[in-house]
Amino acid sequence: MPIKSDVISDCNLFLARATGKVDDTNVVNFQSEIVSLAGFKPTLNSLIDARAITENTVSSEGMLNLSADTPFDVTVKRAFVVPDEKTSILATLFATTTTDSEHFYITYNLEDACDWLGIDYETVLASPVYQDKDKL
């Protein structure tokens, strides 16, 4: 599963986009790499775009393990853009175990997530994680 990530410092944002097949090992390995990303700070807000996932085999146990080791502060805002109900349920499980309900937002629409985070949609689309914009 390719996961592309970026820090958009001007927006105080960690951005990640997942594509293809996703499983427990993929997400745990990716999370361990986040802290080494240039510009990463635990106080960055987070936008996870999961709409391009084609096969999701992440388990609820995997999400609970992931949430136990998050590198982000509990007060950051986290937005999840999901492709389907299963991914929405997993994102909700993750979010409710890592932060308060006012700090997370789950949607099917990237523009809605950007609005909720208070960031410019076009700035997010200009990130290298969206080099293949034709797949949006």
Q: Report the topology of domain 3-131.
A: Transcription Regulator spoIIAA (3.30.750)
pLDDT of amino acid 11: 95
**Residue-level length of the chain:** 136
Residue with tokens 């999701």: 56
pLDDT of amino acid 96: 80
pLDDT of amino acid 63: 81
Q: Provide the 10 A C-beta neighbour count for residue 9.
A: 11
pTM for the structure as a whole: 0.89
pLDDT of amino acid 87: 87
- Is residue 72 classed exposed, middle or buried when 0-12, 13-18 and 19+ CB atoms within 10 A define those classes? buried
pLDDT of amino acid 133: 57
Cβ contact 77:117 at 8 Å: yes
Query: Would you list the domain boundaries of the chain?
Result: 3-131
Q: Provide the 10 A C-beta neighbour count for residue 35.
A: 11
Checking DSSP bridges between strand 3-8 and strand 13-22, what pairing results, if any? antiparallel
Please list the rounded mean pLDDT of every run of 10 residues in the chain (136 residues): 87 94 87 90 96 89 82 93 90 80 92 97 95 62
